[in-house]
């Protein structure tokens, strides 16, 4: 039975629904609660998420499971070197009976688009997708057409194969609100995965049921916008972004768009935690997935395997954490 989410849901209702969604998806994706949670936070923060990890760790299964649990229409596109922008956005098609050209929408006209191996398609097609991600509309055949609401892109990227690929430039990576790595499961989780496969008696992936109605996600997104942010936390987010720009290993630091992404992800984190106010822990919890992929490391440090995630981790240890108290608590104190 699907849960009903009010048009103006309470913080507790949003937290309960988020927990139910994650519980349901864990029936298919075993032992990856942290990664699942970050993907859900990206959706609640009205952003798109890049799943970057090795083959066979469940990226595609994760995306399909989210679509089912959230009641969203889902389309999967396997990106290939010969994929054209029109294959993604749609194109005019000749109708022999009427003699007219009519626009046939492409797979991008969906609520959740699984862009599988986005780094295998040429830059022109990547740009077409990223334009749709940014503008939430498509310009084709002389007209601009709005995309469904919500419109979410979960893109997968294989970081170990470079032959025949077109890596996303940093400016395009900046369009993703978060980058999530899944990683190999723990031994116990992998054993549980095998047991479930044998018990199922079928190669089909475990079924996931719908948890919320389609209107549930937009309602929860509106609830995120009501999470209170105190002045010292605005300053904390700005200080973290500024620290990445000054870091000696960093060629290009976090942009203002990165600061916005960090703030929104942190507000979504607070909501899922059952609070309507932001705390420093919310910012710290999402800083790496929000900022790591937006940082350009100096070229001479690549051989030392210095990453943006490591830089963000260092910055979190250096920037003073504010001892914030929500304003309404301060005002009610004697």
Compare 239 and 93 and report the one with higher pLDDT.
Answer: 239
Of residues 7 and 87, the one with the higher pLDDT is 87
pLDDT of 328 > 60? The answer is no
Q: What is the arithmetic mean of pLDDT over 273-300?
A: 90
pLDDT per residue as tens digits for the range 119-144: 888 888 888 888 888 888 887 777 78
- What is the pLDDT averaged over residues 58-86? 87
d(C-alpha 54, C-alpha 183), whole Å: 7
Summarised one tens digit per residue, pLDDT across range 193-231 is: 888 878 877 777 778 899 988 888 999 999 999 999 999
- 3-state SS, residue 225: coil
Q: What is the 3-state secondary structure (H, E, C) of 75-101?
A: EEEECCCCCCHHHHHEEEEEECCCCEE
**pLDDT above 90 for 59:** no
Q: Is the pLDDT of residue 188 over 70?
A: yes
Q: How far apart are CA 61 and CA 68, in angstroms?
A: 11
Q: Judging by beta carbons within 10 Å of its beta carbon (0-12, 13-18, 19+), is residue 166 exposed, middle or buried?
A: middle
Q: What is the average pLDDT across 274-285?
A: 93
Question: Quick check: 1 pLDDT over 70?
Answer: no
pTM, two decimals, is 0.88
- Please provide the average confidence, as pLDDT, over all residues in the chain: 85
- The answer to whether 46 touches 186, Cβ cutoff 8 Å, is no
Q: Where are the beta strands (DSSP E) in the chain?
A: 49-52, 74-78, 90-95, 100-105, 112-116, 137-140, 143-146, 152-157, 178-180, 250-252, 296-297
Contacts of 201 (CB under 8 A, 6+ apart): none
Of the two residues 166 and 282, the one the predictor is more confident about is 282
Nearest to 270 by CA among 257, 258, 281: 281
CA–CA dist 16, 39 (Å, integer): 17
Q: Assess contact for 192 and 242: CB atoms under 8 A.
A: no
pLDDT band at 259; cut points 50, 70, 90: very high
Task: Check residue 329 and give its pLDDT.
Answer: 52
Confidence of residue 334 (pLDDT cuts 50, 70, 90): very low
96-126 per-position pLDDT tens digit: 777 777 778 888 999 999 988 888 888 888 8
In 3D, which of 96, 88, 204 has the Cα closest to residue 147? 88
Query: Measured between alpha carbons, how far is residue 216 from residues 6, 18, 69, 104, 151 in Å?
Result: 8, 10, 11, 29, 14
Instruction: Render pLDDT for 5-26 as a digit per residue (tens, 0 to 9).
Output: 667 888 888 999 999 999 999 8
* Predicted pLDDT at 333: 44
pLDDT at 95 over 60: yes
Who wins on pLDDT, 92 or 277?
277
Answer yes or no: is pLDDT of 332 > 50. Answer: no
């Amino acid at each position: 039975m699907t849960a009903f989410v009010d048009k103006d849901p309470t913080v507790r209702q949003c937290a309960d629904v988020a927990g139910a969604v994650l519980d349901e998806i864990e029936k298919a994706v075993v032992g990856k609660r942290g990664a699942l949670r970050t993907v859900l936070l990206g959706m609640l923060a009205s952003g798109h998420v890049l799943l970057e990890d090795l083959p066979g760790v469940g990226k595609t299964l994760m995306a399909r499971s989210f679509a089912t649990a959230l009641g969203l229409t889902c389309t999967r596109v396997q990106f290939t070197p010969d994929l054209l922008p029109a294959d993604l956005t749609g194109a005019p098609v000749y109708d022999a009976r009427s003699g007219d050209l009519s626009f046939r929408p492409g797979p991008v006209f969906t609520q959740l688009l699984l862009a599988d191996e986005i780094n295998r398609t040429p830059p022109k097609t990547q740009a077409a997708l990223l334009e749709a991600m940014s503008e939430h509309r498509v310009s084709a055949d002389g007209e601009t057409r709005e995309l469904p609401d919500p419109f979410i892109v979960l893109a997968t990227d294989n970081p170990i194969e470079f032959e025949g690929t077109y890596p996303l430039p940093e400016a395009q990576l900046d369009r993703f609100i978060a980058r999530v790595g899944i990683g190999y499961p723990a031994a116990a989780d992998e054993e549980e995965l095998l047991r479930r496969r044998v018990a199922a008696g079928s190669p089909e992936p475990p079924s996931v049921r719908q948890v919320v109605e389609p209107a549930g996600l937009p309602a929860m997104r509106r609830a995120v916008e009501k999470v209170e942010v105190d002045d010292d936390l605005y300053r904390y987010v700005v200080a973290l972004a500024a620290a990445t720009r000054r870091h000696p290993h960093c060629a290009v630091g976090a942009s203002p768009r990165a600061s916005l992404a960090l703030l929104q992800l942190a507000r979504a984190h607070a909501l899922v935690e059952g609070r309507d106010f932001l705390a420093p822990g919310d910012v710290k919890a999402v800083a790496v997935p929000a900022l790591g992929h937006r940082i350009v490391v100096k070229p001479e440090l690549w051989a030392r395997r210095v990453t943006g995630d490591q830089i963000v981790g260092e910055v979190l240890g250096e920037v003073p954490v504010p001892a914030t108290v929500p304003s309404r608590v301060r005002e009610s104190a004697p």
